[in-house]
Amino acid sequence: MNAASKNPLSAAALALVMAAGALSFTVPAGAAAPAATAAPVKLTVSKPLQKPLQAAQNAMNEKKWDDALAKLKEIEANPAKTPYDTFVMHQFLGYTLRQLGQAAASIPSFEAQIDSGFLSPEEADRLTKGVAQLYYQEKDYAKASQAGRKFLSGGKIDDDIYTLVAQAEYLQKNYAEVIKLLQSFIATLESRGQVPKEPTLALYSDSYLRLKDNAGATRAMEVLVKYYPKRENWANLLSLVRGETSADLILFNLYRLMGDTGTLTSANDINETAQLAIKFGMPGEAVSVIQRGMADSAFSTTTEKASAERQLQTAKTLADADRAGLTKFETEAKAAKTGEGDVRLGQALLSYEQYDKALEAIQRGITKGSLRNADEAQILLGITLLRLGRKPDAVVAFNGTKGTDPKLSGLAHLWALHAGN
């Protein structure tokens, strides 16, 4: 499958591009505390504007919003206003327009307050954050991003605004900007021991997919499943990896991981897993995979059920013959100077759920060395430890691959993520 074109995360990511929460303002009871200014500023309403502003506030207190708006528009047109008169007028005007449901029209008043110099830094930040939310609600994503970035300037860390800016850039199809923004944000959170929110990580992953950067999307999805190991997140990640996989050995171990994460659910995938298990000398695992698929009702049509039953009988016949020769195989493997036979013995024992004996054989084979594929042996070791419930040891084993086969080593990393969860 072409994972980039099917874009498995797109629907989820778009669903998570949610509107920011509505602002909550109160009628200003008096003058706001001034910020530091270069020159003294008079912080009282000028005498000519006292009565008009009081009349506007009275109308607001009585919830006569149309009357309040009319009075405030008269004040707005008055050229005699002082800077502080203008500030107070915009406090009243922004609130009144919000009460009248004119959110877009209210934004300039809030911006005028932010730029006035009469707000404390904390008040200016709160209002800047609110303006970003209002622009987002009004679908003016460019200005939402601009306001959000203004709030974040100076190194602020605010999950809601980082996500809002990322969403705004995403909806403008500025996917590279989303990645740049969230890459830094996620790294900062992780350095502080904090967990990024799932919607943030979903946007991050999907932005890579939109750019058809499957390698970047895979890395991003790995972060997603690290913190949110839901079945659907694993399904998206493993679907993407599968789209990049063709070698049977990689595919077989990928299917094994799908089985462990509850994402091996289609009849075709189960059949292919069983076929590969037989190919690699593990008919016992083929039996288990098919039986588990039957128990989960993965085979729904008459044709699928008949095919699965035939394959099961073939696997059982091969497994019976395989088990009959295990004792001789074990003797030969132990006597060998190289470890390949021990690893294959361990692989067979693993498929028959003889985990303790499998662990002993695989460890013996790794110690002897001269293996056909050392990275595969490490994955087998990790899976066996995982089956024994030794998760920390399994993580160490999976991370012990040497990268001789980069794709297999990458798959071992995914197994380590799963074991760590």
Q: pLDDT digit string (tens) for 151-160?
A: 998 788 888 8
Note whether 405 and 395 are same-domain residues.
yes
Low-confidence winner among 98-107, 233-242, 402-411 (lowest mean pLDDT):
402-411
What pLDDT does residue 169 have?
A: 97
What pLDDT does residue 16 have?
A: 33
In a domain, 110, yes or no: yes
Look at the chain and report how many structural domains it folds into.
Answer: 3
239-292 tens-digit pLDDT: 999 988 889 999 999 999 999 999 999 999 999 999 999 999 899 999 999 999
In a domain, 3, yes or no: no
Is the pLDDT at 32 greater than 60, yes or no?
A: no
What pLDDT does residue 269 have?
A: 95
Q: Could you tell me the pLDDT band of residue 13, with boundaries at 50, 70 and 90?
A: very low
- Please tell me the distance from the alpha carbon of residue 341 to that of residue 345, in angstroms, as a whole number: 6
Which residues fall within 8 angstroms of residue 377, CB to CB, at 6 or more apart? 339, 343, 362, 365, 366, 371
What pLDDT does residue 3 have?
A: 40
70-115 tens-digit pLDDT: 999 999 999 999 999 999 999 999 999 999 999 999 999 999 999 9
In a domain, 6, yes or no: no
What pLDDT does residue 20 have?
A: 29
What pLDDT does residue 296 have?
A: 93
What pLDDT does residue 29 have?
A: 33
Is the pLDDT at 396 greater than 60, yes or no?
A: yes
CATH number assigned to the domain comprising residue 169: 1.25.40.10
What pLDDT does residue 246 have?
A: 84
What pLDDT does residue 36 have?
A: 34
pLDDT greater at residue 52 or residue 24? 52
In a domain, 79, yes or no: yes
Instruction: Identify the domain containing residue 104 by its residue range.
Output: 12-24+45-216
Note whether 188 and 319 are same-domain residues.
no
- pTM for the predicted model, two decimal places: 0.81
pLDDT greater at residue 2 or residue 370? 370
CATH number assigned to the domain comprising residue 383: 1.25.40
In a domain, 238, yes or no: no
In a domain, 264, yes or no: yes
What pLDDT does residue 157 have?
A: 85
Note whether 87 and 197 are same-domain residues.
yes
Rounded average pLDDT over 170-195: 95
Low-confidence winner among 28-32, 80-84, 251-255, 374-378 (lowest mean pLDDT):
28-32
Which residues fall within 8 angstroms of residue 356, CB to CB, at 6 or more apart? 388
Note whether 316 and 336 are same-domain residues.
no
What pLDDT does residue 10 have?
A: 40
Note whether 331 and 312 are same-domain residues.
no
Q: Could you tell me the pLDDT band of residue 405, with boundaries at 50, 70 and 90?
A: confident
Asked whether the beta carbons of 107 and 127 are under 8 A apart, the reply is: no
What pLDDT does residue 407 have?
A: 87
- Asked which of 163, 197, 216 is the last residue of a domain, the reply is 216
- Asked which of 293, 324, 355 is the last residue of a domain, the reply is 324
Note whether 18 and 151 are same-domain residues.
yes
What pLDDT does residue 368 have?
A: 96
What pLDDT does residue 117 have?
A: 92
What pLDDT does residue 156 have?
A: 85
In a domain, 228, yes or no: no
What pLDDT does residue 282 have?
A: 92
332-343 tens-digit pLDDT: 999 999 999 999
Note whether 137 and 182 are same-domain residues.
yes
